[in-house]
């Protein structure tokens, strides 16, 4: 390889391995074309294209501000994390737990949401039924709650509760 092509390929490889920038959305595309005509009568041409795309969820208007990522050390799978990241749920700590009334408040990012359950609510993780979940004091437990969020009244109508 010619030294120039080697340098350009190395630069493209390093750019694709660069750490993601959490402050902004950046898309970089690099295309390099090199022609070697040192051999008489032949021409070698090569093209290298590298694309790097980093996205910051904090600048995404669809982001509810919830800490819903696969890197936050919870037990939610990728599908659950995607649902919560799209504003269909929250993860946080249980407060104001009322086992008899089957209600609790979820503290997520220093905001409190009253969680409303129904007979159709699904329970997963450390408790798989409403009786198991509400039969034990869950104060300060870590949970992921999927459902419809009403930001005005700060309520979350739960379709699924995952006890971590």
Q: In the chain, which stretches have pLDDT less than 50?
A: 1, 22-24, 52, 54-71
Contacts of 32 (CB under 8 A, 6+ apart): 5, 8, 9, 12, 47, 48, 49
H helical segments located in the chain: 3-17, 78-83, 130-134
pLDDT at position 32 is: 58
What are 65's two structure tokens? 């501000």
- Note the pLDDT of residue 87: 54
Q: Where are the domains of the chain?
A: 3-59, 78-163
Domain 78-163 has CATH 2.40.50.140: yes
Predicted confidence (pLDDT) per residue in 54-76, tens digit: 444 444 444 444 444 444 555 55
Candidates 93, 95, 96; CA nearest to 164 is 93
Confidence (pLDDT) at 117: 96
pLDDT for 5 equals: 62
Q: Measured between alpha carbons, how far is residue 41 from residues 3, 36, 38 in Å? A: 22, 11, 9
In this predicted structure, what is the pLDDT of residue 34? 58
Q: Residue 17, Cβ neighbours under 10 Å: how many?
A: 8
């Amino acid at each position: 390889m010619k030294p120039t092509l080697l340098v350009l390929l190395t630069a493209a490889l390093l750019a694709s391995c660069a750490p993601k920038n959490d402050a902004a959305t950046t898309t970089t595309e690099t295309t390099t074309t090199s022609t070697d005509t040192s051999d008489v009568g032949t021409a070698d041409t090569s093209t290298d294209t590298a694309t790097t795309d980093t996205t910051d969820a904090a600048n995404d208007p669809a982001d509810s501000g919830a800490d819903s990522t696969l890197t936050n050390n919870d037990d939610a799978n990728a599908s659950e994390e995607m649902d919560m990241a799209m504003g269909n749920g929250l993860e946080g700590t249980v407060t104001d737990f009322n086992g008899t009334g089957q209600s609790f408040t979820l503290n997520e990012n220093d905001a409190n949401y009253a969680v409303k359950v129904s007979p159709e609510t699904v329970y997963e993780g450390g408790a798989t039924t409403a009786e198991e979940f509400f039969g034990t004091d869950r104060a300060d437990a870590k949970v992921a709650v999927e459902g419809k969020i009403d930001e005005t009244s700060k309520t979350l109508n739960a379709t699924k509760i995952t006890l971590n």
